[in-house]
């Protein structure tokens, strides 16, 4: 476990990209916190769809909800919040000792609202109230419509995990929405300490271009985009605008690496974790990736990647015919569609529960 502890000492938070009721009931999540330096977790519709399909632990709750006449979505939210409240309580000591920097769990608004600003605002506020936990993020996608919902939700005091960010432009839009929300709170005399994270999806880039680039460029685009975004993140934290907000008591919107499990079986299973072991960031990873890094990850590998390496890779991608600007929006749409498909399967599963 020393490798994971060293990542924590470097200043990176390790979150689990998974949740299922059995890991709460058999003590597995508690063990990951105790022995594997896990200090938070994230969820999404695909994770819960897999959890509901893999276990009968939700069956009694499904039947009770359906018998009570609850909608499939209401049943899901109730059951998901049961899990996430338990996880949030487990992380509560971390949340308190870090003064709200760490120890978070996340629940996503319906992906059907990805292009509905007002619907997202309403849903985020409702989930925040229902959660009854200070350390639960509401996830809102960084679509153009989601960006407007992020600003309003932050202003309303809802902690937001911005999801489905793929490019520097996506990140900057999400960060600007967060800043505007905080600035509005300060102008209104409200507490500026509303937490947020910006979740950047990494490995999906490499999946998308795997067959379109030469072998030498495979599994390099996701990291190049991540490095570009990390530079923008640092630039923002050094800006006069952010320093003024920090002086007023605001906290930075932390950068979170998502989709860090390796998809290509020919590549290292800790490729993304090693390369993105950067201070003041979060890596949320699948359980298998966490175990792999604990077993054979190399601490300090990120230091061997030069600041200009990412831009050089992006230039090579352009020469290979890859338009990353167009692809970033395509990947965001595809990610939204994937979550919608998982969401619909999940609701159908609930509707058909006996």
**Which residues are designated catalytic?**
139
Please state, in angstroms and as integers, the Cα–Cα distance from residue 232 to each residue in 42, 257, 274, 312, following that order: 24, 14, 20, 17
Strands (E), the chain: 13-16, 38-41, 105-108, 136-141, 160-165, 196-201, 254-258, 281-285
The two tokens of residue 339 are 């979550």
Query: Residue holding tokens 């599963």?
Result: 349
Q: Check if the beta carbon of residue 203 is closer than 8 Å to that of residue 17.
A: no
The distance of Cα 160 from the centroid of its chain, to the nearest Å, equals 10
Query: DSSP letter at 352?
Result: T
Q: Which long-range contacts (CB under 8 A, 24 or more apart) does 278-281 make?
A: 278/10, 278/12, 278/230, 278/302, 279/10, 279/11, 279/12, 280/11, 280/12, 280/252, 280/254, 280/255, 281/11, 281/12, 281/13, 281/230, 281/254, 281/255, 281/256, 281/257
Helix axes 168-187, 240-247, angle to 10 degrees: 40
Structure token pair of residue 129: 């109230």
Nearest Cα neighbor of 347 from 18, 56, 83, 52 is 52
Q: Which residues pair with 280 in a beta bridge?
A: none
């Amino acid at each position: 476990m020393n490798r994971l502890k060293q990542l924590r000492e470097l200043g990176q938070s390790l979150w689990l990209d998974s949740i299922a009721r059995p890991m709460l009931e058999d003590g597995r999540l508690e063990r990951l916190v105790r022995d594997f330096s896990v200090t938070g977790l994230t969820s999404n519709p695909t994770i819960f769809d897999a959890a509901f399909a893999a276990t009968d632990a939700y069956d009694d709750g499904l039947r009770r909800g359906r018998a009570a006449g609850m909608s499939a979505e209401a049943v899901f939210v109730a059951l998901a919040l049961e899990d996430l409240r338990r996880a949030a309580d487990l992380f509560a000591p971390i949340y308190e000792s870090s003064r709200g920097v760490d120890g978070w769990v996340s629940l996503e608004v319906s992906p059907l609202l990805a292009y509905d600003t007002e619907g997202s605002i309403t849903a985020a506020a409702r989930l925040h109230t229902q959660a009854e936990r200070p350390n639960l993020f509401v996830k809102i996608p960084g679509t153009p419509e989601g960006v407007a919902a992020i600003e309003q939700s932050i202003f309303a005091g809802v902690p937001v995990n911005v999801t489905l960010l793929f490019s520097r432009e996506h990140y900057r839009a999400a960060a600007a929405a967060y800043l505007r929300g905080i600035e509005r709170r300060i102008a209104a005399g409200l507490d500026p300490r509303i937490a947020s994270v910006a979740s950047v999806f990494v490995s999906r880039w490499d999946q998308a271009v795997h067959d379109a680039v030469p072998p030498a460029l495979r599994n390099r685009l996701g990291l190049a985009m991540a490095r570009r975004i990390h530079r923008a993140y640092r630039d923002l934290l050094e800006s006069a605008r952010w320093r003024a907000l920090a002086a007023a008591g605001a906290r930075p919107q932390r950068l979170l690496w998502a989709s860090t499990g390796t998809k290509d079986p020919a590549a290292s299973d800790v490729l993304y974790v090693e390369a993105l072991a950067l201070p003041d960031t979060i890596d949320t990873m699948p359980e298998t990736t966490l175990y792999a890094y604990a077993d054979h990850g190399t601490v300090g590998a990120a230091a061997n990647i030069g600041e200009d390496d990412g831009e050089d890779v992006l230039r090579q991608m352009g020469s290979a015919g890859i338009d990353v600007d167009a692809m970033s929006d395509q990947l965001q749409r595809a990610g939204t569609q994937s979550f919608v498909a998982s969401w619909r399967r999940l609701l159908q599963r609930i509707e058909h529960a006996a």
